[in-house]
Amino acid sequence: MDEIKSNNCEKITRRASRAVRVGGITIGGDAPISVQSMANRDSHDFAAVAEQTELLFARGCDIVRIAVPDESCVPVFEYCRERGITGPLVADVHFDYKLAVAAAARGADKVRVNPGNLGGTDRLLAVAEACGEHGVAMRVGVNGGSAEKKFVEKYGGATPAALAESALSYVETLYKHDFYDIVVSVKSSNVKTMIDSTRMIAANCDCPLHLGVTEAGTARMGTLKNAVGIGSLLCDGIGDTIRVTLSAAPEDEIPAGRDILRAVGIFDSGIELVSCPTCGRTQIDLLGLLERLEPRLDAIDTRGKRIKVAVMGCVVNGPGEARDADCGIAGGRGEAALFCRGRVVGKVSESGAEDALIDEIRRIIDGAEG
Ligand code: SF4
């Protein structure tokens, strides 16, 4: 076999994209990848929407989207500001471009439209003009139902190419009219379609990209579909903001999104937990240990450090298999070995393993590991 050339494949090189300001945060450029969710309370009930929005921001959501189904809902953004909500808010508008124009003027930081259902280029440009006037960004969304008819006909259906070309044509139109604060998304419930069309867009414009699989389903399958779709693109370096769409409470979308970023290694601080699958050599109650440990690790503030922690079932293979971990434990009979970067540094009883590992992590955070 020929020598396999190393391409430093662990490192993700992010696609260069234009930086777009959305309220207090930036999407694209070298800004961290943001995690979004969407309020699902009745948009006419401002207090309920604001309460849910506060909860989403408190749970670590970076951007919250709010549906604007009719004109009476437009003041919800001003209401949220009056309540003291400062995080970025996005107005979600379908069909009626006037709602997007009004939301841009009245407190939204970004408007999300599907140009294909606004009813013509003039209306899209009217939204862009309002956005430009008020320093508001626009998300240009395309899905199977809103792809341009001419491209659907050209490609014989709402294929990835039809979706991508639709999105790119809207970008071209907006750029021609000097509106550049655009984030682009292609949504599909088909993971492969979402991946392929987003790759095409990524290769043909400099807009930051919003990733997500739509109508993904319940928490279990929805998280998996999004992990495959969003995760594949992130591994290619594509994607600047994500939403894990789930048929679940919106606040459940946030940890799912953060976990996808962690799973592909895109996180600046926090703990990455790796653990072995267990086998016939396992001599401790590894699954019970992990169940207790995971929430404790989630609660640790690593003060900007990124720490890899391994929990392995046996001392024969564990420390070696997890040698790139900053610290970890490997089970023995009634005891566990504590190791740091593949080297065993001590032994603890099985019952003391959990606390010993936490202590070691704290030493790493304090810069005092042995
Ligand atoms: S670390 Fe040990 S117990 Fe775990 S899977 Fe590998 S060999 Fe089995």
pLDDT at position 354 is: 94
Tokens at 71, concatenated:
């004109």
Same domain, 335 and 259: no
Same domain, 345 and 229: no
Separation CA 181–CA 175 (nearest Å):
9
For residue 55, which amino acid is it? Answer: L
Same domain, 355 and 249: no
Q: Which domain holds residue 313?
A: 270-365
CATH classification of the domain holding 48: 3.20.20.20
pLDDT at position 283 is: 85
Of 248, 263, 278, the domain-final residue = 263
Helix 219-235 vs helix 191-204: angle between axes, to the nearest 10 degrees?
30
- Tracing tokens 């370096």 back to the chain, one arrives at 237
Same domain, 225 and 294: no
**Pocket of ligand 1 contains residue 220 by CB under 6 Å:** no
Separation CA 271–CA 143 (nearest Å):
36
> pLDDT (tens digit, 0 to 9) for every residue of the chain, 370 residues total?
666 655 555 678 999 999 999 999 999 999 999 999 999 999 999 999 999 999 999 999 999 999 999 999 999 999 999 999 999 999 999 999 999 999 999 999 999 999 999 999 999 999 999 999 999 999 999 988 888 899 999 999 999 999 999 999 999 999 999 999 999 999 888 999 999 999 999 999 999 999 999 887 889 999 999 999 999 999 999 999 999 999 999 999 999 999 999 999 888 788 999 999 999 999 899 999 999 999 999 899 999 899 999 999 998 888 888 888 999 999 988 899 999 988 899 999 999 999 999 999 999 999 875 5
CA of 325 to the centre of ligand 1 (A): 15
Of 243, 263, 283, the domain-final residue = 263
The residue among 235, 138, 255 whose CA lies nearest residue 185 is 138
pLDDT at position 5 is: 59
**Pocket of ligand 1 contains residue 144 by CB under 6 Å:** no
Is the CB of residue 306 less than 8 Å from the CB of residue 324?
A: no
297-333 core/surface letters (b: 16 or more CB in 10 A; e: else):
beeeebeebebbbbbbbbbeebbebbeebbbbbbbbe
Same domain, 211 and 299: no
**Pocket of ligand 1 contains residue 167 by CB under 6 Å:** no
Separation CA 50–CA 305 (nearest Å):
33
pLDDT at position 3 is: 65
Is the CB of residue 244 less than 8 Å from the CB of residue 226?
A: yes
pLDDT at position 223 is: 95
Tell whether 7 is covered by a domain. no
Sheet holding 270-275, edge to edge: 270-275, 306-312, 327-331, 335-340, 343-349
CATH classification of the domain holding 337: 3.30.413.10
CA-closest residue to ligand 1 atom 7: 317
Tokens at 63, concatenated:
């951007």
CA-closest residue to ligand 1 atom 1: 318
Same domain, 183 and 301: no
pLDDT at position 256 is: 95
**Pocket of ligand 1 contains residue 276 by CB under 6 Å:** yes
**Pocket of ligand 1 contains residue 318 by CB under 6 Å:** yes
Ligand 1 atom nearest the C-alpha of 312 is 1
**Structural domains in the chain (count):** 2
For residue 42, count other CB atoms closer than 10 A to its CB.
Answer: 12
